[in-house]
Chain A
Amino acid sequence: MDLSPFESDNSVSCRLASQIPDVCRTEDCCLGIDEAGRGPVLGPMVYGICFCPVSKKQELKDSKVADSKTLNEVERENLFQKIDESKSYIGWALQILSPNTISTSMLQRTKYNLNAISHDTAIDLVQYALDSGVQLKELFVDTVGPADKYEDKLSKRFPGIDVTVRPKADSLFPIVSAASICAKVARDRVVKGWSFSEDMGDVEADYGSGYPSDPKTKAWMLKYLDPVFGYPQFVRFSWSTAQTLMDSKGVTVHWDDDDEDGEKGAQRQNNKSMLAYFSASAGGKDQTSTHQTHRFFTERRLKSLDAL
């Protein structure tokens, strides 16, 4: 797994993929989807797909690919090695969503929530497999949100493909488990080798699991809190752990869309500054003046001052 395309710019999202096995272009295939790193406040979230011919399902099962969550890091690395060695019939692809992408999407004016991000990423990966000529017949997905709704959404999006969305799909279907291993291995490696684009000197690499509940993670978050900037891009600013720490220990920052979302906030902002203008243009103590500042100035937000 060559992570260099992501590591060359870890502020954006990146796709990594194996070669497409020839057999996947000619035989009916199954495809599993899983994610790694949904919960942590640190590092990327990785989406993975794995696919192989339906005829190879038993072989995959025999290779003892199991739920990645029950494995330790070494076992996962070994299993990934096995998947990689089976490149004649197993293919994979990953989407690494950088923490910066997650922060800026979730905190966008028009909010883009994590479930929507997950669904779109999964759909894009399936579409990638189809575009690459994989003869997709079966799709197995670990659920994000209500399973039946998601299943319905995917079935409509990919007509002719048999879609199964299940909670704990990674322990039920070996192909999902394989996808889960690919995603988890990538996330672990990325987090371990994170290169900070901020100029922070030596950063302590012992950030624990990245889960807000982990005391090591919490300690790291406290140590690397900058009062003005908050955190490096390694941290997901949209997590309440990060927000709460910045609220209590950082300086307060106000945006024009605070409290409201999207257009409504922008609208209010416009109205407010307009009112501010008209009251200010009356000019100090003179209450009788009916003068209205010309729009050349109001449009440019220019006004006279009465003191420095």
Chain B
Amino acid sequence: MSCNSSVTRVNVSSVGQAQRVPVHLLPCEIEHNGPAQVSQYLTATTKDCKQEKMVSFRGRGLKGQELSCPQGYTGFVLKETNKPGSDQEDRTVKVSSVFDKLTYWNLETPPNSDDTVVMAMDWPELAEAIHGPVED
């Protein structure tokens, strides 16, 4: 378990350069890491209806909604700056983007409170109950 000694530091000073960006969670796996014309294609064709947003991606209908970060929480995108050669060396990640809400998309299904990502947002408040200090 030698790799247990490695720690990954978060370079918080990078937050100054981090941009506030829109983030979208998609119901498909895109085999790619890198640039994409998100605003030109996705944002430009997204339709806002009362309860939901609609768009299509690769010819498939998506329905989604915005989800705010839980109170007291902020969204970050962390990026590893230079990967060390061995797994025992310390690593560093920087904050590359910041967000306070995300848009998640379902394939065809209208967004609702049973969606797993909506339910996952229960976690911080539950964690507070489980981990918060108890009185004597």
Contacts and interface: CB of A to CB of B under 8 A. Distances in A.
Judge A-B direct contact (beta carbons within 8 Å).
Answer: yes
Interface stretch (B11-19, B53-61, B66-74, B94-102): B53-61
Contacts of B123: 300, 302
B107 interface: yes
Contacts, number: 96
B61 A308 contact: no
Contact of A300 (B36, B59, B91, B120): B120
A251 B32 contact: yes
A73 to B, nearest CB: 29
Contact of B58 (A11, A237, A257): A237
Nearest to B87: A307
Contacts of B36: 228-229
B134 interface: no
Interface in A96-147: 100, 103-104, 106-109
Interface string A265-308: 00000000000000000000000000000001001111000011
Interface in A183-199: 197-199
Given A109-B107, A229-B41, A256-B27, A300 B58 contact: no
B128 interface: no
B113 interface: no
A112 to B, nearest CB: 11
Interface residues of B, number: 33
22 contacts: A11-B45, A11-B56, A103-B56, A103-B59, A107-B59, A108-B108, A109-B107, A197-B44, A230-B58, A237-B58, A237-B60, A238-B59, A251-B30, A252-B31, A253-B29, A254-B28, A254-B29, A255-B27, A300-B116, A300-B120, A302-B120, A308-B8
Interface of B: 3, 8, 27-32, 36-37, 39-42, 44-45, 47, 56-61, 91, 93, 107-108, 116, 119-120, 122-123, 126
Given A229-B57, A256-B107, 18 more contacts: A100-B59, A109-B107, A109-B108, A198-B44, A199-B37, A228-B32, A228-B37, A229-B41, A252-B32, A253-B29, A253-B58, A254-B28, A254-B31, A296-B126, A300-B116, A300-B119, A302-B123, A308-B91
